[in-house]
Chain A
Amino acid sequence: SQELEQSPQSLIVQEGKNLTINCTSSKTLYGLYWYKQKYGEGLIFLMMLQKGGEEKSHEKITAKLDEKKQQSSLHITASQPSHAGIYLCGSSFQGAQKLVFGQGTRLTINP
Chain B
Amino acid sequence: DADVTQTPRNRITKTGKRIMLECSQTKGHDRMYWYRQDPGLGLRLIYYSFDVKDINKGEISDGYSVSRQAQAKFSLSLESAIPNQTALYFCATGTTGRWGGEQFFGPGTRLTVL
Name A's B-contacting residues (CB within 8 A): 2, 4, 6, 9, 30-31, 33, 35, 40-45, 48, 50, 88, 90, 92, 94, 96-104
The complex places the Cα of A15 from the Cα of B114 at a distance, in Å, of 40
Q: Report B-chain residues with C-beta under 8 Å of the C-beta of A103.
A: 40-42
Interface stretch of the complex, out of B13-21, B61-69, B74-82, B95-103: B95-103
26 pairs from A and B in contact (CB 8 Å cutoff): A6-B42, A9-B40, A31-B97, A31-B98, A31-B100, A33-B103, A40-B110, A42-B90, A42-B106, A43-B43, A43-B92, A43-B103, A45-B102, A45-B104, A88-B43, A92-B99, A92-B101, A96-B99, A97-B100, A98-B33, A99-B45, A99-B100, A99-B103, A101-B35, A103-B40, A103-B42
**Proximity bits, B41-65, A CB within 8 Å = 1, else 0:** 1111100101000000010000000
Number of A-B contacts (CB under 8 A): 68
Q: Report A-chain residues with C-beta under 8 Å of the C-beta of B33.
A: 98-99
Rounded to whole Å, the gap between the CB of A13 and the closest CB of chain B is 20
Known: A9-B40, A92-B101, A99-B33. 5 other contacts (CB 8 A): A4-B42, A31-B100, A43-B105, A98-B100, A103-B41
